[in-house]
Structures are given as C-alpha cells and as structure tokens.
C-alpha cells in the first residue's frame, strides 16, 4: 500500500495500463532528484506491481526553462549525478535531445504506464495534457514539489499570505510524509536506448541553440549533493541568524532557490527536518542568545519555504495572466496607471538596464552581479525588481523589463517564484501604502530612507517587513 497521499496522485487519461509493456516510464521534468521523489517512487511501486523495471526519461530542449545556457548547465550537472544514483537502484536514465511532446509518446509505445511529475506554468500544463491525450497507456501525474498540493490548499488565487497561511496549516500534517524508498524488481540498465553521453557538457550544449546564451553560474553547481550540502550548511550557520535575512551582507538565507526550483531537494523533507530541529539543535552552531531566538527563526524560514513558495504556485496556477501586468491586483494596476503621468527624472531602455547603465550605481552593481552569477539574495531582489518603475514611462513596461531580466538571468527564474516575486514588486500579495508620486499606492523601496521623497513613510531597503 502506497504511503504517497492520494491527493498527490492524478490520473491524466482513461487509457488502460499496457500489459505488454516492457517497463514503467517516468518522464522526469520538474523533480530532478532520486531522493524523496514521490513520482519516482510511485513509478517504482507500479514496477513492483507489474514486475517491471523503470526507465527515467529527461527531454533536453531549449524551449522554456532551459532557454538559458546557465539553467541548461545546472540541469545537466544535476542529471549527471542522477544517472549514477539511479543506476545504483537498477534504473536507467535516458537524457535525449527533443521536446517532451515528441519524445514521451515514442518511449510510451513500449511502456506499461507513464508517470510524470507536476509543474505549474502555462506551458507545463499544456505539455502534460497534450502528452496524456497522445499516449495509449495510462498516464499518472504525481505532485511532489509542493508540500500541500495546489488544488488541495485552495480553490482560487489567494489574495495574500494572510489568507493562504491558515489554509496550508489546515492541511499540512497529512502531507508531511516521505515516500518509501524501493528498488524495482527488474533492472533496466541493459535496455538499449539512444541517449546522450553526459560526460561532456560542452559537446551536448554545442548541439543546442540557446535563445539566452548566459554564462554558467559557477557558485551554483547543480545536483542533489550540492542541494543537500547547502541545506546542511544553512541549518548549521544560517537558520539561527535568519532574523538578519534582510541584510544581504549577512548571507544568512539558504540560497536553496535554484535547487528547489529544479526539484533537486524535496520541500517536504525540508519541512519535516525543520520541525525536528528543536529536538536536536546541537546541529546548529549558535550563541545562547541565538538559541533563544531559534523558534522564531524556524517559524520565519518555514513561512518563506512553505507559505511564500506555495503562494507563488497558487498565483501561477489560478491566474491565467500571471506573466503580464494584467495579472496584478486591480488596485495595483489602477494606481500605477494613474501615476504613469507623473514626471520621471530618468528614463532607461531595456538594454541600458540589462547592461547596468542606469543612474543608480547600487542597482547597476546588482544587475551586473545577476548577469555574472545568476543569483541575488531575497531582499536585494525586492529593491532590484521595483526600481524599473522609476525609469520607464509606463508601469506595464517596468513590469515587463523586470520580469524579462529575471527570466533570462536568474538561475531560479522562469518559475512560479519568479513570476510571483516580480509581481509582488508591483503590488501582488501586498497592500496599499501611502500614495506618492510614480509609486502610487505601491510599497516603495529606495536606497535611502528619505529618497525619492522627503517623506517619513517612505521605507528604506532595510526597513521593509
Ligand atoms: C523581484 C523578485 C524576483 C524573484 N525571483 C524569483 C525567482 O526567479 N525564482 C524563485 O524561486 N523565487 C524568486 N523570488 C522569491 C525569493 O526572492 C527567492 O525565492 C529567494 O530569494 C531565494 O533565495 P533563498 O533560497 O536564499 O531564500 P530563503 O530565504 O532561504 O528561502 C527558502 C526558500 O523559500 C522560497 N521562498 C522564499 N521567499 C520566497 C518568495 N517571496 N516567493 C516564493 N518563494 C520564496 C524559495 O524557494 C527559497 O529558496 C523573487 C523575488 C523577488 C522580489
């Protein structure tokens, strides 16, 4: 009997299992890991039931997330590690050039059943539905990159973290379980498959045309081991100081964003571990004073990784226009449109922003750091995402520029967190502040407490809650 909660499992078509199939196929897309991966474990459970082995397919193409070389490299590094760890369980990983729509149906011809993981952006949903329609075996989706499945948590786009938090809390406990770890009854390592040799990334990448040829993020090598190391390092050195998270120089946040967004680590595993910490907090390196604050810091981190992260998923799932200015709350669109008539001191083009050539030297440095390394600390992102409003005539243009920069350069970009994060800068999941020029009722963020207006209500980068 499977330990995977039923609400994580969804039948996507009405086709029967193919009894003549040679293996169970897991099309891996959003959960690039073998540890605590419910979709993988579900495929193995089916394999045990049918006495078949499991093949994992990953489709490598430059549409969507892997349109940036930076993200493709991160995926390849993760896959190279995965190939070995899956092989140790008798599971063959096949990384193949092509889109999932082209490849999955052809791999399904010899499959008993198809299992896939769940992703939330528009294209992800279209691809999954199209595949389910085009294959002739049963197709099952397992949702394991959130703690509470998106439609269990809420039935609509939630207005704010305040309304969403209690909904998660009401459902949480039954989803805090990890899947059993099994081994398929038959190995698939000797099945002959045409697939990529993962030993030479440059050769693989040379076969691809990247719409965004952005340099590799060397500080963020992909893979489960790196995700695990970062998580442990954060537990030891970051968590007890998480109250300093608004100071980018303190470097106390987990920097797990890219790993979570590629599915290299399970959010359920993180949450379970977090709840155990107080029992064995010797794992944490901190002063007595920090130990006292530990429960508060644990709650603050849990709120980010659970509430904020899953609110972002709720946003893209239930908001068809999540990638446009029209996806913002009505009050935010209205106030920004009204303020588009206000004078702007400087106007910069997308290219000037992209190249860090604005009037704000701090913003420029941040942008150049993003171009180079593919990651910004959380609080810096807020400042960075809001400033284009000051430098464009139309607020919709500012939104578009910020989102485009985020989607191109951020290693964890083109994900629910990216769309919700940029939208937050323009009013999403936030509330109206005192009106001021250009910003309207949007929460302003400036470099100095008294800029751009000499107004005590104008918050500085270190004062935002
Ligand atoms: C302008 C802007 C752009 C952003 N772009 C992205 C993006 O492209 N991809 C992305 O995943 N997040 C994005 N965020 C949300 C958040 O800033 C990042 O998730 C966070 O910076 C990742 O750093 P961390 O892992 O050190 O965070 P931590 O503070 O250690 O938090 C742990 C995890 O919780 C989740 N999380 C934390 N805050 C948020 C949030 N506000 N929304 C959603 N999830 C959150 C992330 O998965 C994060 O890794 C953006 C926010 C803003 C304001």
87: CB partners within 8 A, 6+ apart: 93, 189
Range of the structural domain that residue 46 is part of: 1-145
324 and 313, same domain (yes or no): no
Structure-block tokens of residue 315: 């946003």
Report how far ligand 1's centroid is from the alpha carbon of 314 (Å): 15
Parallel, antiparallel or unpaired: strands 53-60 and 138-142: unpaired
* 354 and 310 inside one domain: no
Radius of gyration of the chain (CA): 23
The two tokens of residue 452 are 């751009």
At 456 the pLDDT is: 41
Distance 37 CA to ligand 1 centre (A): 22
User: Does one domain contain both 40 and 139?
Assistant: yes
C-alpha distances out from residue 454 to 378, 423, 429, Å: 26, 26, 27
**Residue 161 is assigned to a structural domain of this protein:** no
Q: What is the pLDDT along the chain (465 residues), one digit of tens a residue?
A: 678 999 999 999 999 999 899 999 999 999 999 999 999 999 999 999 999 999 999 999 999 999 999 999 999 999 999 999 999 999 999 999 999 999 999 999 999 999 999 999 999 999 999 999 999 999 999 999 999 999 999 999 999 999 999 999 999 999 999 999 999 999 999 999 999 999 999 999 999 999 999 999 999 999 999 999 999 999 989 999 999 998 888 889 999 999 999 999 999 999 999 988 877 766 677 787 777 888 899 999 999 999 999 999 999 999 999 999 999 999 999 999 999 999 999 999 999 999 999 999 999 999 999 999 999 999 999 999 999 999 999 999 999 999 999 999 999 999 999 999 999 999 999 999 999 999 999 999 987 554 444 344 444 433 433
131 and 81 co-located in one domain = yes
Whether residues 300 and 428 share a domain: the answer is: no
Query: What total of structural domains would you count in the chain?
Result: 3
pLDDT value, residue 463: 40
CATH number of the domain where residue 270 is located: 1.25.40.80
Asked if residue 374 and residue 462 are part of one domain, the reply reads yes
Are residue 449 and residue 332 in the same domain, yes or no? yes
| 107 CB-near residues (< 8 Å, 6+ apart) | 25, 27, 55, 57, 94
Does one domain contain both 463 and 330? yes
Both tokens of 408, joined, read: 């191109």
DSSP-assigned states of every residue in 17-77? P-TT-SEEEEE-SS---STT-HHHHHHHHHHHHHT-EEEEEEEE-SSGGGGBHHHHHHHHH
- Ligand 1: residue whose CA is nearest its atom 43: 309
Structure tokens at 411: 């290693």
The pLDDT value given to residue 281: 64
Q: Which of 227, 263, 304 to mutate to test the pocket of ligand 1 (most atoms within 8 A of CB)?
A: 304
Cα separations in angstroms, 6 against 15, 243, 400: 19, 37, 39
What does the pLDDT read at residue 314? 98
Q: Are residues 325 and 312 in the same domain?
A: no
Instruction: Identify the domain boundary among 110, 145, 180.
Output: 145
Q: Name the residue of 145, 378, 465 to mutate for ligand 1: max ligand atoms within 8 A of Cβ.
A: 378
Q: Which long-range contacts (CB under 8 A, 24 or more apart) does 438-443 make?
A: 438/339, 438/342, 438/344, 438/389, 438/390, 439/339, 439/389, 440/335, 440/336, 440/338, 440/339, 441/331, 441/332, 441/335, 442/332, 442/335, 442/336, 442/386, 442/389
The answer to whether 44 and 184 are in contact (CB under 8 A) is yes
Q: Any idea what the Cα angle at residue 396 is, between residues 64 and 437, rounded to 5°?
A: 145
Pick the residue whose CA is nearest to atom 51 on ligand 1. Answer: 421
**Is 152 a domain residue?**
no
Given this model, what pLDDT does residue 2 score?
78
């Amino acid at each position: 009997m499977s330990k995977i909660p039923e609400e994580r499992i969804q039948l996507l078509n009405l086709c029967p299992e193919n009894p003549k199939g040679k293996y169970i196929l897991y099309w891996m897309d959003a959960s690039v890991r073998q540890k605590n991966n419910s979709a993988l474990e579900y495929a193995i459970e089916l394999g045990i039931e049918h006495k078949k082995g499991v093949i994992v397919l990953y489709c490598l193409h430059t549409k969507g997330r892997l349109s940036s070389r930076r993200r493709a490299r991160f995926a390849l590094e993760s896959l190279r590690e995965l190939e070995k760890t899956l092989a140790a369980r008798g599971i063959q990983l096949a990384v193949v050039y092509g889109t999932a729509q082209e490849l999955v149906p052809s791999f399904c011809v010899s499959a008993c059943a198809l299992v896939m993981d769940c992703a939330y952006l528009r294209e992800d949903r279209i691809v999954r539905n199209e595949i389910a329609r085009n294959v002739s075996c049963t197709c099952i989706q397992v949702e394991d990159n959130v703690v509470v499945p998106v439609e269990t948590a809420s039935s609509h786009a939630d207005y704010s973290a305040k309304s969403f938090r209690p909904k998660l809390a009401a459902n949480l406990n039954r989803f805090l379980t990890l899947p059993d770890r099994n081994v398929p009854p038959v190995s698939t390592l000797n099945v002959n498959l045409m697939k990529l040799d993962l030993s030479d990334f440059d050769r693989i990448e040379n076969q691809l045309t990247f719409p965004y040829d952005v340099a590799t993020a060397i500080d963020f090598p992909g893979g489960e081991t790196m995700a695990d190391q970062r998580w442990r390092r954060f537990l030891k050195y970051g968590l007890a100081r998480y109250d300093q998270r608004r100071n980018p120089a303190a470097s106390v946040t987990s920097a797990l964003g890219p790993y979570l967004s590629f599915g290299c680590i399970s959010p359920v595993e993180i949450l379970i571990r977090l709840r155990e910490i107080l029992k064995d907090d010797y794992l944490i390196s901190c002063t007595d004073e920090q130990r006292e604050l530990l429960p508060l810091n644990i709650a603050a981190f849990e709120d980010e990784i659970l509430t904020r992260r899953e609110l972002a998923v709720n946003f893209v799932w239930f908001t068809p226009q999540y990638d446009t200015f029209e996806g913002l709350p009505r009050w935010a669109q209205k106030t920004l449109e009204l303020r588009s008539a206000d004078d702007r001191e400087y106007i910069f083009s997308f290219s000037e922003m992209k190249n860090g050539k604005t009037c704000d030297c701090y913003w420029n440095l941040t942008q150049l750091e993003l171009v180079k390394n593919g990651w910004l600390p959380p609080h810096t992102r807020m400042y960075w995402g809001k400033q284009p409003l000051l430098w464009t005539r139309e607020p919709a243009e500012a939104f578009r520029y910020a989102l485009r920069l985020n989607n191109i350069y951020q290693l964890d970009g083109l994900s629910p967190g990216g769309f919700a994060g940029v939208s937050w800068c323009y009013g999403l999941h936030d509330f109206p502040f005192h009106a001021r020029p250009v910003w309207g009722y949007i929460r302003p963020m400036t470099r100095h407490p008294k800029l751009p207006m000499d107004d005590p209500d104008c918050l500085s980068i270190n004062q935002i809650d």
